[in-house]
């Protein structure tokens, strides 16, 4: 049983803790954070299903005032586990890495950290083998994770030479105020980092793209214009997508009009926090144009990276050396594609 700790109990950290707890071959030892944040207060109100470790000792009094039991310090959590999932704010993980190295522990960092923090820039489906046995892995961002799922899916069927992508990006997570209130769109320079990151994971595919920030909070939408290495029909593309456990093919005709429809559907399914692990591809957007594959997908940014992070544990800890066996177990325990 691999012992896992989660450092940073925020938007991603909460979901990582739940994801690890679902795994039948992993043990969640505890979570760590800096103080009585709203997620930590909610953890207490739920009866402390996970042990809490304090990352900032100066905040002990605040936690005691809030009635939140403390199981130990961050360093004590690190010493108890085999691997840490670092879900702290960008830049904090790189500082925490010093502690992980001090105790000889493995760690997986999220997309906000610089790629240089890790031995391998990792994606469960696209380059699982490169993460096997490595000490430090870094996940791709939420957009890149979902994008690579779809491109890798097609690449393994027909081979992909290049992709052009256009991302309509939510500006903040629900509940975030620090980015401000806005009624404007903002465009990034070409190429966006997701295109660059895709090429780091899949160096045989050429990629470029545009990114537009939008004042919404539930999900990103990406359109993809992919050049296959050989001819493929629309039905074959759809068949490939439908066969992928972490891709959900939906139809506008059925009421899936956009990102909000998918978030509401996840809530109607009873998924905790309205989460959905799968990306969604709209059937009506899938087409073949001038021998190129076109499609649009939705990225549920708060949960999409959880399966690939679990895959990372399997790779780093050498729990499985076969890619499909590893992702299959992650899918099984998270009840994806069942």
Backbone angles phi, psi at 2, to 5 degrees: -80, 130
Q: What is the pTM of this model?
A: 0.95
Q: Provide CB contacts within 8 A for 286, sequence distance 6+.
A: 234, 237, 238, 241, 293, 294, 295
Domain extents for the chain?
2-140+305-334, 142-299
Superfamily of domain 2-140+305-334, CATH level 4: NAD(P)-binding Rossmann-like Domain (3.40.50.720)
Nearest 5°: the CA angle 136, 165, 228 is 95
- Tell me whether residue 119 is annotated as binding: no
The answer to whether residue 153 is catalytic is no
For residue 22, pLDDT over 90 is answered with yes
pLDDT tens, position by position, 250-269? 999 999 999 999 999 999 99
pLDDT tens, position by position, 267-307? 999 999 999 999 999 999 999 999 999 999 999 989 999 99
Identical fold, 2-140+305-334 and 142-299: no
**Which residue is catalytic, options 85, 142, 151, 299?**
142
Superfamily of domain 142-299, CATH level 4: Dihydrodipicolinate Reductase; domain 2 (3.30.360.10)
């Amino acid at each position: 049983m691999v012992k896992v700790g989660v450092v940073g109990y925020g938007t991603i950290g909460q979901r990582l803790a739940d994801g690890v707890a679902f795994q039948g071959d992993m043990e969640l030892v505890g979570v760590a954070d800096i103080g009585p944040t709203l997620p930590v207060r909610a953890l207490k109100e739920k009866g402390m299903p996970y042990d809490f470790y304090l990352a900032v000792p100066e905040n002990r009094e605040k936690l005691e005032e809030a009635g939140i039991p403390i199981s130990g310090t961050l360093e004590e959590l690190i010493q108890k586990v085999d691997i840490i999932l670092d879900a702290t704010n960008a830049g904090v993980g790189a500082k925490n890495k010093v502690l992980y190295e001090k105790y000889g522990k493995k760690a997986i960092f999220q997309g906000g950290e610089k790629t240089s923090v890790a031995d391998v820039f990792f994606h469960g489906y696209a380059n699982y083998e490169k993460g096997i046995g490595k000490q430090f892995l870094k996940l791709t961002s939420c957009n890149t994770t979902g994008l690579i799922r779809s491109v890798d899916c097609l690449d393994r069927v027909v081979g992909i030479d290049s992709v052009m992508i256009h991302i309509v990006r939510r500006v903040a997570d629900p509940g975030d105020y620090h980015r401000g209130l806005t009624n404007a769109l903002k465009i990034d320079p070409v190429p966006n980092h997701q295109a660059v990151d895709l090429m780091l994971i899949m160096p045989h595919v050429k990629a470029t793209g545009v990114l537009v920030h939008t004042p919404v909070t539930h999900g990103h939408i990406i359109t993809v214009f992919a050049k296959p290495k050989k001819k493929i029909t629309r039905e074959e593309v759809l068949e490939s997508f439908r066969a992928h456990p972490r891709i959900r093919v939906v139809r506008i005709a059925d009421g899936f009009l956009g990102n909000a429809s998918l978030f509401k559907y996840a809530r109607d399914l009873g998924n905790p926090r309205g989460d959905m692990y799968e990306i969604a591809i709209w059937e009506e957007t899938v087409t073949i144009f001038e021998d190129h594959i076109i499609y649009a997908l939705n990225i549920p940014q708060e949960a999409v990276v959880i399966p690939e992070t679990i895959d990372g544990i399997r790779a780093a800890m050498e729990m499985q050396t076969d890619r499909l066996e590893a992702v299959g177990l992650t899918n099984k325990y998270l009840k994806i594609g069942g």
